[in-house]
Amino acid sequence: MQMETSFAYIDENYKRILYEMEEAKAKYRKPDDEITFMAVTKTVAPEAVNHAIECGIRVLGENRVQEYLSKKQFYLPNAQMHFIGHLQTNKVKYIVEDMELIHSVDSVRLAAEIDKQATRIGKVQNVLVEVNVGGEASKSGVAPDALEELLLEISQMSHIHVKGLMTIPPIEGDEKFLFQMQKIYLDISSKKMDNIDMEILSMGMSGDFAAAIRYGSTMVRIGTALFGARKYV
């Protein structure tokens, strides 16, 4: 098999996305707002991921524990690892050491397991709580009306620290849900809960990152627009 060695399309996509991010920021946000561009790596070959790192990407988003474990040894060392996929409690132990941030905490049970594994290795694990803003049965995430109670429970745990919220809004009516999510984020911020920070709103993917920036996103998670269509889902 011929190895793909030219990743010029990644350079072009990277520059275009950065430009569009800047455009959205200039239109809707303050000049000194920082918005992080995460590259979502699911199904993408490590060589292509490394090319994105060479372009300037500093945050990688991983969805699957198994896939991450098989690819991590090939990654360049200069990017942070974030876990963004649905996380089973029995897999937490395999990733807790490597992850700068886990975006997908949506239950006390999962938070307790992360707390336990982080305690074991002497780390405080930074996490986001995932909110199912559209109330879709097919999606993970805590319901908006159960969010505050979950945050209160996590705030009692010593080795897990909430840094913000994450969401995957429904495709239909996207902007409405982005707006709702911004309201939820600002509402929780204003409550100033002990041991809970609202510094990161992880929101926006290939199809809606400019709109997500409009509604306060601080981190966009981009796969397809950077690497091209995935071969499998």
Ligand X SMILES: *Cc1c(COP(=O)(O)O)cnc(C)c1O
Residue 42 or 123 having the CB closest to ligand X: 42
DSSP 189: H
Q: How far is the CB of 120 from ligand X (least distance, A)?
A: 26
Per CB under 6 A, 200 contacts ligand X: no
Read off the amino acid at residue 113: E
User: Is 141 in contact with 165 (CB distance < 8 Å)?
Assistant: no
Residue 155 to residue 111: CA distance in whole angstroms = 10
Candidate segments 27-35, 47-55, 146-154, 199-207, binder of ligand X by CB under 6 A: 199-207
Residue with tokens 């097919």: 138
Considering only residues 25-44, where is the footprint of ligand X by CB under 6 A?
Answer: 40, 42
Q: Which amino acid is at 147?
A: L
Nearer to ligand X, 29 or 42 (CB): 42
Is residue 224 a contact point for ligand X (CB under 6 A)?
A: yes
Q: Which stretch binds ligand X (CB under 6 A): 18-26, 121-129, 192-200, 216-224?
A: 216-224
Among 48, 76, 108, 205, binds ligand X (CB under 6 A): 205
Q: How far apart are CA 203 and CA 212, in angstroms?
A: 6
CB closer to ligand X out of 37 and 157: 37
Interaction mask 112-141, ligand X, x per CB under 6 A: ------------------------------
- Residue number, 101 or 157, with CB nearest to ligand X: 101
Residue identified by tokens 């982005």 is 178
The Cα–Cα gap between 50 and 10 comes to 11
User: Is the CB of 144 or the CB of 223 nearer to ligand X?
Assistant: 223
Contact between residue 208 and residue 222 where contact means Cβ atoms under 8 Å apart = no
Specify whether the CB–CB gap between 224 and 206 falls below 8 A: yes
**Contact flag: residue 212 with ligand X (CB under 6 A):** no
> Are the C-beta atoms of residues 179 and 215 closer than 8 Å to each other?
yes
- The residue among 164 and 223 lying less far from ligand X, judged by its C-beta, is 223
Out of 63, 126, 132, 167, name the contact with ligand X by CB under 6 A: 63
Binder among 168, 181, 188, 210 for ligand X (CB under 6 A): 168
Containing H/E element for 182? Answer: helix 174-191
Q: Which amino acid is at 66?
A: Q
Q: Which pair of structure tokens corresponds to residue 137?
A: 């049965």
Residues near ligand X (CB under 6 A) are 40, 42, 63, 84-85, 168, 205-207, 221-225
